Amino acid sequence: MHLHEYQAKELFRTFDIPVPEGRVIRKRSELSPIIDELGLPLVVKAQVLAGGRGKGGGVRLVQTADEANDATTAILGMELVTAQTGGQGKTVHSVLVEQGLNIARELYLSLLIDRDRAEIVIITSLDGGMAIEEVAASTPERIIRIRINPLIGLQGYHLRQLAFGLKLSSQLGKEMATLVRKLYRLFVECDCSQLEINPLVVTTEEQLSAVDAKVEIDSSSLYRHPELAALQDPDDQDPLEAEARDIGLNYIRLEGTIGTIVNGAGLAMATMDLIKQAGAEPANFLDVGGGASSEMIEKGFRILLSDQQVTGIFINIFGGILRCDVLARGVVKAAQKTGLNLPVIVRMEGTNVDEGRRILTESGLALTTVSTLNDAAHELAALRDLR
């Protein structure tokens, strides 16, 4: 889950990490008291969940109240297109109005997880700012990587390596060490998967300040961070995934055309492999859980049927705790209620399978029932060419 810049900066404040003073507004009429409060110059910044806003015209430094008004009028409501938004752009619903700083240097600082090595990595550079991608491409030696074993944690030598690499004075080096300690704590405590400050500026008054802030929280950890989960931007979620989560289904939307309903994550993975091997593409991952009820199956069905990409459905259930007769009733009920008109392949094995098959056959619905994965693959290959 991504945080907006203003939300990330709020979070920084609670960890005592220096950020410029600022206010978020959603209407231009809210601007003038903020000019009085913060003074000039100001920076007006589009709040969209994408980087590269500066280059796309979404960040403006303004010197007068008139300029602040013009910038806010221009940015609020615009469709901001940046290198990261895709051609259509993102609508700007709010802007962050911040005190403009006198910037002496722009540094780059980020923390992320190296999954292969199971380490946290700090990436930093002397050349922060809007051209960081170019720096990485053309002068990679100017990017410093510091690897941290999470069991050992952040140590003094990491911080010295950082201050030395960034050629900071001893005073600024100490400030940087304090800042990075706090950031590291935030990263771990909030279950971040990525955190980036670009630029981290040194002001002409020799102060550090996080002028930009990007924070990504591991969505799987949100159950233990209700205060962060509440910050989720509904526009940033897949509507079907959000609906599935609300009703307690493990659903992830994919790009293919074969909708799947499976019990158990391992079987769901194997099912997706099977679909691919049959030359088709799964439209989703959906684990209805070992103890799923017929209501859960019905809900799963509804989600799949609201995906316009889906041209066929493959139900693969091993009846253990979820008995095959319960599944079959769920499928029949869901098919009748939703007026199902897509081909459905059901592969069932396990407890009460005969009873389950009988229910499916007697329903009169056009379902294809198979008992082995091999047969399922053949049927899937036939669905593949449907459009």
110 binds Mn ion per the rule CB under 5 A: no
* Residue in 82, 87, 23 with CA at minimum distance from that of residue 57: 82
159 is in an annotated binding site: no
At which residue do the structure tokens 């201050």 appear? Answer: 163
Least separation, in Å, of the C-beta of 66 and ligand GDP? Answer: 18
Residue 57 or 343 having the CB closest to Mn ion: 57
Least separation, in Å, of the C-beta of 201 and ligand GDP? Answer: 7
151 is in an annotated binding site: no
52 binds ligand GDP per the rule CB under 6 A: yes
100 binds ligand GDP per the rule CB under 6 A: yes
Q: What are phi and psi of 314, to 5 degrees?
A: -120, 115
Residue 72 or 198 having the CB closest to Mn ion: 198
Q: Is 255 among the catalytic positions? A: no
Note the maximum CA span of the chain.
81
Q: Is 196 among the catalytic positions? A: yes
Q: Would you tell me the crossing angle of helices 156-165 and 170-189 to the nearest 10 degrees?
A: 130
Q: Which of 5, 6, 184, 196 is catalytic?
A: 196
Helix, strand and coil percent figures for the chain, each rounded to 5:
40, 25, 35
* Residue in 142, 135, 49, 143 with CA at minimum distance from that of residue 92: 49
Among positions 199, 300, 330, 356, the unique one binding ligand GDP when judged by CB under 6 A: 199
Other C-beta atoms closer than 10 Å to the C-beta of 39 total: 11
Other C-beta atoms closer than 10 Å to the C-beta of 72 total: 24
Among positions 198, 257, 260, 311, the unique one binding Mn ion when judged by CB under 5 A: 198
59 binds ligand GDP per the rule CB under 6 A: yes
18 binds ligand GDP per the rule CB under 6 A: no
β-pair partners for 239: none
d(CA 35, CA 20): 14
d(CA 320, CA 350): 6
Least separation, in Å, of the C-beta of 24 and ligand GDP? Answer: 14
Residue 43 or 154 having the CB closest to ligand GDP: 43
Least separation, in Å, of the C-beta of 341 and ligand GDP? Answer: 46
- Binding-site residue positions: 45, 52-54, 98, 101, 106, 198, 212, 263, 320-322
Q: Which residues have a catalytic role annotated?
A: 108, 196
- Binding-site residue positions for substrate: 263, 320-322
